[in-house]
Structure 1
Amino acid sequence: MTVTTKPAADAGAAPTGRALSGSLGVTAIVFMVVAAAAPLTVIGGAAPLGILLGNGVGFPSMYAISAVVLLLFSVGLAAMTKHVPKPGAFFTFVGYGLGKKAGLASAFLALLTYTTIQVSVYGYIGYLLNVTVTGLGGPDIAWPLYSLASIALVGILGYRHIDLSSKVLGVLLIGEVGIVLALVAAVVFAGGADGLSLAPFEPSHVMSGSPGIGLMFAIAAFIGFEATAIFRDEAKDPNRTIPRATYVAVIGIGLFYTLASWGLVMAWGPDNVLGVAAEDPGAMILVTTAQYLGVVGEVIINVLLITSMFACVLSFHNVITRYQHSMSNAGVLPARIGSVHAKHVSPHLSSLTQSITAAVCVVIFAVLGLDPVLQVFTWFAGVATLAIAILMAITSAAIIVYFARTKKDGRLWNTVIAPGLGFVGLVGAAVVIIANFPMLVGDVDASGTPSFGAVSAVLLGLIVLFPLIGWVQALVIKKTHPAVYETLTDAISG
């Protein structure tokens, strides 16, 4: 990977012709990051698996617990955005707190996180489009072709101004959230299968089954909310917009997931929901919708499942392109990637780079004969889940160190207590995810028992390799391009 020999611009702005701009408000940014969390995909796909493999009836409580942990993380994140006016998010914040080498290592881990979650969903959307089209009597087109078509459409939207993407995401998000709320309302109106109750939040149910696996599925569902800071340069009033968007996103996602999964449990009753999930977790949301909203509701939610995944990959595409843009302006990716389109004011070359990356990954998966759901989706979503927990834990530590050193913010809750509690929660979550990683990626021994084998080793190895690449590159830049190194993330020490 090459680096630029020209030092980055002044700390307050990117070089001329390389700065992003826009007037995104809280609502637009929330739409983009919540769309990345793919609410309908989570409730339709992850929630049934969380019920089945996790803590059964108590699974909805895992969303509430995850929301609390991530809200604590968000307090420190919001404080940091006011004192570090940069759009690099993890890359910049870790650099300011823990130094340049750690910042660059986290940047590469972030690229791995968002790329793997994006390509995992491309696999799933290719499969779903194939099943839907053939189910309607259409031609049986291989899933990779559908995935590549999706990449092309996302690439077109990502190439243009961010306002277009935000409008598309807004429409799609309203549709998927609306159908889920309609389903919950129908369940409540009907009184559920066995009456309405708070059984999912009773301690005996919360701790039943495998709560660690349940927590793993729950945290995975939040991936994307933390990316609000990456849109700083395109926000209307970043010092207010970014913190508000972050709080609204995590609270909104947490409440929505908790309510929707509670409705799913109530739809079948605490005594029956586990059996229904075991029959066919992938079809659980469709069966539930058919029972409470009829055939029309089932058709609508099936269509919205596809648009939910499309909204997810479009949102992550925008996040990745802006990460690459920030890294390019810092001098650690090729200079051209940081270019901004004269008309669309978008990181168009970064968008093209990401589209090509995703397409190459899909082609490789197809050549290797990987299953789009059981392998592409499950394996790489597992990588992203663990990587994001590690990233947020490192960022929490960086926030605490930064404010302890600079004394720029004397609010103990915002700069020490909340991020400290978030750090403990995220480290605990990372440990749980690692312990259960073989089950998440389907890595089993000859007897069918989950165990750390070749698949787990390769995928966990990626989480070690990528930040190591960033760390080594920082050392190389320090030696060969000291001027560039001094401007990396504008860190105070390194």
Structure 2
Amino acid sequence: MTKLEPTGSQTGTAPHRVLSGSLGATAIVFMVVAAASPLTVIGGAAPLGILLGNGVGFPSFYAISAIILLLFAVGLSAMSRHIPKPGAFFTYVGYGLGRGTGLAAAWLAMLTYTTIQVSVYGYIGFILSYTLETYTGVSIAWWLFSLLMIGLVGILGYRHIELSSKVLAVLLVAEVGIVLVLVAAVVFSGGPQGLSLAPFEPANIVSGSPGVGLMFAIAAFIGFEATAIFRDEARDPDRTIPRATYLAVIGIGVFYTLASWGLVMAWGPDHVFDEAAADPGSMILRTMAIYLGPAGEIITNVLLITSMFACVLSFHNVVTRYQHSMASAGVMPERLGAVHPTHLSPHLSSLVQTVTAAVLIAVFALLGLDPVLAVFTWFAGVATLAIAVLMALTSVAVIVYFAKYRKDTRVWNTVIAPVLGFVGLVISAVLIVVNFPIMVGDVDAEGAPVFGGVSWFLLALVVVFPIIGYVQAAWIKKRRPAAYAKLTDAIAG
């Protein structure tokens, strides 16, 4: 039974309330895999990964990313057993590396989840606009649809988390089902050039711009680590959170590798790049039309929209809980830590996130940014680089924490796996940075990457936000010692 545990005036502390519930591993997996948004990835990110990344070899990066993130998940799960607090990255980094670094991680996480959510709002606006014009001939600006979706997500985010989890579960099953039907149809037909393992050949893996391909692959996993954020709302969290984390990584990795391989086979290794270049935004719909007919195309179009809706709803829930945890730690306005007396949700945090997303979309519209090649691609890139840095930092925090406190003597879980995960994540981050200009279109006449204004601005965000955390920690320590002590309790143990 979900309950509400009052603090605040009833306990003599700040006026917050504690989130609680009875979500099981399956419900949490649905929440975080919905954030990964399977159909959005295959329909949106995969074509861009093929076009801007390493072409035919792109599916291999889903398998590579899954291995790296599974190693990271080992340390994350070990940490979750010994730190019974929500907050994930910023909590774990705070325990391992100190309050200042923990707060820096918190602000970097906020950047990650806000940018990935807004990027998908851009894509869903494009799909809705494209769909309406295709079937009715009526043209409406993409950003109007984006704002509509922000409003709908805000309504659900304001209400109880179990409502969101049920909505996400239904949508997730439907979108996974249609992709698997497509893969089965491709396998049954044999594809235009026959079935092969061309995407996994070394020459294809390192072709084109593998750093960009790796960026899109890792981006597809963003959200799996959010299992720890739902700790207060989980049933038996010591067992539920690790189980949900492993299930999410393995499930996402296997599914994306299979589905993107099917997409390449659907057009053939010799033609898939040209098809992605023709129109990456509608590639999945054209593929469905060929293999599943007009009905399949229409169903996929509807599910693509619901998939992206599920994605932004899940990220909305993650961001609001991050804000809730940060407010409880005294680093955001205390009102954001409030829980609705009826819906038992962080309702004020939800409202703030809704307004934030709406303002950003309005700014992008005023700047005239393309919803797919700019809003979706650019900000998914920022989120992916930020998440790679966050995970690498968390891996270090895991190693330091267990070396210091010796609460877990399993060497694989507390040293070897986190070290291997750290190495993989650092390599991934470096490749993303080196290839970042290609993703945003900062290239010279010969197509070579050149760090221009757009690249520098977007990369600077990943530096500026952690600095905000360090500065805020120093200010709190100097000016608000009581709040700093509270920060110690909430972040650094």
User: Could you say which TM-score interval applies, normalised by the shorter chain?
Assistant: over 0.9
Instruction: Tell me, yes or no, if the aligned pair for 1:76 and 1:415 is still in contact at 8 Å.
Output: yes
Aligned twin of 2:266? 267
Other structure's SS at 1:464 match:
helix
How far apart are 1:28 and its partner, in Å?
1.0
How far apart are 1:491 and its partner, in Å?
7.3
Aligned twin of 1:484? 483
Aligned twin of 1:105? 104
5+ residue gaps in structure 2? Answer: 1-6
Q: Verify: 1:240 aligned to 2:239, yes or no.
A: yes
Supply the AA of the counterpart residue of 1:437: F
Aligned twin of 2:169? 170
Q: Verify: 1:302 aligned to 2:281, yes or no.
A: no
The range that moved more, 369-378 or 389-398, is 369-378
Deviations 1:171-203 (A, max 9, x none): 111111110000001111222333323232233
Aligned twin of 1:54? 53
Distance 2:412 2:312 in 1: 35
Instruction: Tell me, yes or no, if the aligned pair for 1:96 and 1:490 is still in contact at 8 Å.
Output: no
Aligned twin of 2:85? 86
Supply the AA of the counterpart residue of 1:386: L
- How many residues align? The count is 485
Distance 2:89 2:410 in 1: 22
Distance 2:373 2:138 in 1: 23
Aligned twin of 2:184? 185
Deviations 1:76-135 (A, max 9, x none): 000000001110100100000000000000000000110111111112211221121122
Distance 1:45 1:151 in 2: 19
The alignment-based identity, stated in percent, is 74
Aligned twin of 1:5? none
Instruction: Tell me, yes or no, if the aligned pair for 2:15 and 2:338 is still in contact at 8 Å.
Output: no
Alpha carbons of 1:76 and 1:374: their partners in 2 closer, same or farther (altered >3 Å)? same
Instruction: Tell me, yes or no, if the aligned pair for 1:91 and 1:489 is still in contact at 8 Å.
Output: no
Instruction: Tell me, yes or no, if the aligned pair for 1:320 and 1:354 is still in contact at 8 Å.
Output: yes
Other structure's SS at 1:21 match:
coil
Distance 2:319 2:488 in 1: 17
Q: TM-score, normalised by structure 1?
A: 0.94
Alpha carbons of 1:349 and 1:128: their partners in 2 closer, same or farther (altered >3 Å)? same
Matches within 5 A, 1:342-421: 342-421=341-420
Aligned twin of 1:292? 291
Aligned twin of 2:3? none
State the Cα RMSD in Å: 2.0
Deviations 1:302-323 (A, max 9, x none): 1111111111110000000000
The range that moved more, 197-206 or 466-475, is 197-206
Which consecutive aligned stretches of 4+ in structure 1 deviate over 6 angstroms post-superposition? 491-494
Distance 1:131 1:279 in 2: 15
Q: TM-score, normalised by structure 2?
A: 0.94
Instruction: Tell me, yes or no, if the aligned pair for 1:97 and 1:491 is still in contact at 8 Å.
Output: no
Q: Verify: 1:440 aligned to 2:439, yes or no.
A: yes
5+ residue gaps in structure 1? Answer: 1-7
The range that moved more, 188-197 or 90-99, is 188-197
Supply the AA of the counterpart residue of 2:191: G
Aligned twin of 2:469? 470
Alpha carbons of 1:373 and 1:211: their partners in 2 closer, same or farther (altered >3 Å)? closer
Matches within 5 A, 1:4-15: none
Instruction: Tell me, yes or no, if the aligned pair for 2:125 and 2:371 is still in contact at 8 Å.
Output: yes
Distance 2:41 2:229 in 1: 23
Aligned twin of 1:254? 253
Deviations 1:446-493 (A, max 9, x none): 776531111111111111111111110000101112222123253796
Instruction: Tell me, yes or no, if the aligned pair for 2:110 and 2:322 is still in contact at 8 Å.
Output: yes
Instruction: Tell me, yes or no, if the aligned pair for 1:99 and 1:491 is still in contact at 8 Å.
Output: no
Supply the AA of the counterpart residue of 1:366: A
The range that moved more, 449-458 or 51-60, is 51-60
Other structure's SS at 1:342 match:
coil
Instruction: Tell me, yes or no, if the aligned pair for 1:96 and 1:489 is still in contact at 8 Å.
Output: no
Alpha carbons of 1:110 and 1:81: their partners in 2 closer, same or farther (altered >3 Å)? same
Instruction: Tell me, yes or no, if the aligned pair for 2:104 and 2:467 is still in contact at 8 Å.
Output: yes
How far apart are 1:269 and its partner, in Å?
2.6
Matches within 5 A, 1:125-140: 125-137=124-136, 139-140=138-139
Other structure's SS at 1:436 match:
helix
